[in-house]
Amino acid sequence: MLTQETVWEALKAVKYPGYTRDIVSFGLVTKVSVADGTVTVSMQLASSNPGAAQQIQTEVERILKSLPGADRVEVEVRQPASAKPAPPNPWAHQARVPGIKKIIAIASGKGGVGKSTCAANLACALAHLNARVGLLDCDIYGPSIPLMMGVHEKPTISARERLVPPVAHGVKVMSFGLLLTDDQPVIWRGPMITKTIQQFLFAVEWGDLDFLLVDLPPGTGDAQLSLCQAAPLDGGVIVTTPQEASVGVARKGLAMFHKVNVPILGIVENMSGFTAPGGERLDIFGHGGGRREAARQNVPFLGEVPIFMEIREAGDGGTPVVVSAPNHPAGRAFHRIAETLRQKI
């Protein structure tokens, strides 16, 4: 039976031109009525663009005419006589990075959860699965990827005057840490970070890559927004530890990805328990917080990585544990997450 609820639900299939959101969630539909097989829909647009209005009206008519019982469809689209200039679109200058198939951001709400450790190990694990992988360290203030990947040489310059990233463990690596000398601090404001991230994307000889993993700094600041505005991301991974203090902040990272229309590929729970030499399991930071949050947010749970000294030792030594000890439980944990990630994307 044709009802107003049926019509409202059908209208959710109509996207606003150029956006992923539908006209119902945008609040453009002002009235819906159904009477004797006649469906009447009224809409009020904020834009005076006649092309958008015509496209919406055509799509609405097509959708409604396909509903059983809709013998007649009347669609009214109202627009302002003169619209104010549209605010600048922060995503207008997004561009795909030539040669890179998928860009995946590795993020966390807070620091100290092992995000860079996860990024380095997942990059190496994907390379082990015969993928062509790059790893970009966007933590301008505290770059740690060079240490974890064992890269110390500076990038060279190509004939096209682009940075050539060093290769470690089958992964192309770029980090601002490779351009610094010793313990030189970075004392920059936001615009400099924005420019640097754009250069790391488009002025580096990445070549052909299946995946570019981007290790983001903690939080939801300049680096995150600059990356999202520079290039469309194919997905985001949130790393958290099990305790609520970490999970609660990780929600902010999830919310950030939602706001900038980045698909959530899943949550990784790091430091998920410790097995003592006697075999006793100790949940130092709790257990299951990442899995519960994934269920609560209705996003995939990619897996958990327990605490192992081998992970820290491998990272400090410049050879991620998936490379130095692929058959160790820690190495296998990262390999499983990488396999799951590859399947999802």
CATH code for position 279 = 3.40.50.300
Are 64 and 112 found together in one domain? no
Query: Looking at 74-78, 92-96, 248-252, 330-334, which range is the least confident one?
Result: 92-96
Neighbours of 37 (CB within 10 A): 11
The answer as to whether 83 is a domain residue is no
CATH classification at residue 59: 3.30.300.130
Are 324 and 272 found together in one domain? yes
Note if the pTM is more than 0.85: no
Q: Decide if pLDDT at 318 tops 70.
A: yes
Question: In this prediction, what percent of the chain has a pLDDT beyond 70?
Answer: 92
Are 219 and 319 found together in one domain? yes
The answer as to whether 8 is a domain residue is yes
Which two three-digit tokens encode residue 264?
Answer: 């959530």
264: β partners? 236
* Strongest mean pLDDT among 69-73, 95-99, 323-327: 323-327
State the sign of the Cα–Cα–Cα–Cα dihedral 299, 302, 306, 311: negative
Determine the average pLDDT of the residues in 107-125.
Answer: 91
Are 65 and 203 found together in one domain? no
Confidence of residue 222 (pLDDT cuts 50, 70, 90): low
| Phi, psi torsion values for 302, nearest 5 degrees | -80, -25
What pLDDT score does 184 carry?
64
The answer as to whether 176 is a domain residue is yes
Residue 262's domain spans which residues?
100-344
Determine the average pLDDT of the residues in 254-279.
Answer: 86
Are 121 and 66 found together in one domain? no
Q: Decide if pLDDT at 325 tops 60.
A: yes
What pLDDT score does 90 carry?
55
Are 72 and 165 found together in one domain? no
Question: In this prediction, what percent of the chain has a pLDDT beyond 90?
Answer: 49
pLDDT digits (tens, 9 = 90+) for 170-190: 999 999 888 877 666 666 666
pLDDT digits (tens, 9 = 90+) for 95-104: 788 999 999 9
* Total number of domains in the chain: 2
What pLDDT score does 319 carry?
96
Place of tokens 């328990």: 273
